Amino acid sequence: MTAGSLTFRDDDMGSGEGDCPVVGPVPVRPEIAAQARAGWRILLSAVKVGGQWGLVEVVSGDP
């Protein structure tokens, strides 16, 4: 996580932290990144186009 991006890890798809699929960094507004906390569970859809990730839909979050 940086001032202008978030990185997501899909804990449900891997058997341990080292092999979980990663989405990101995804560019977001700095005020959004500042509110994010490690460990939150978020249901989202993302795509990678031209080497850059983007969020398509954020369905829900559970801080």
Task: Say which residue the tokens 């990730």 belong to.
Answer: 53
Q: Rounded to whole angstroms, how far apart are CA atoms 51 and 47?
A: 10
pLDDT 10s digits, 2-60: 689 999 887 766 555 567 788 899 999 999 888 888 888 888 888 999 999 988 988 87
What's the whole-model pTM score? 0.68
pLDDT at 55: 86
Q: Rounded to whole angstroms, how far apart are CA atoms 49 and 14?
A: 24
pLDDT at 9: 85
For 12, 14, 19, 36, the CA distances from 28, given in Å and listed in that order, are 24, 25, 25, 11
Q: Rounded to whole angstroms, how far apart are CA atoms 48 and 26?
A: 9
Q: Rounded to whole angstroms, how far apart are CA atoms 53 and 7?
A: 10
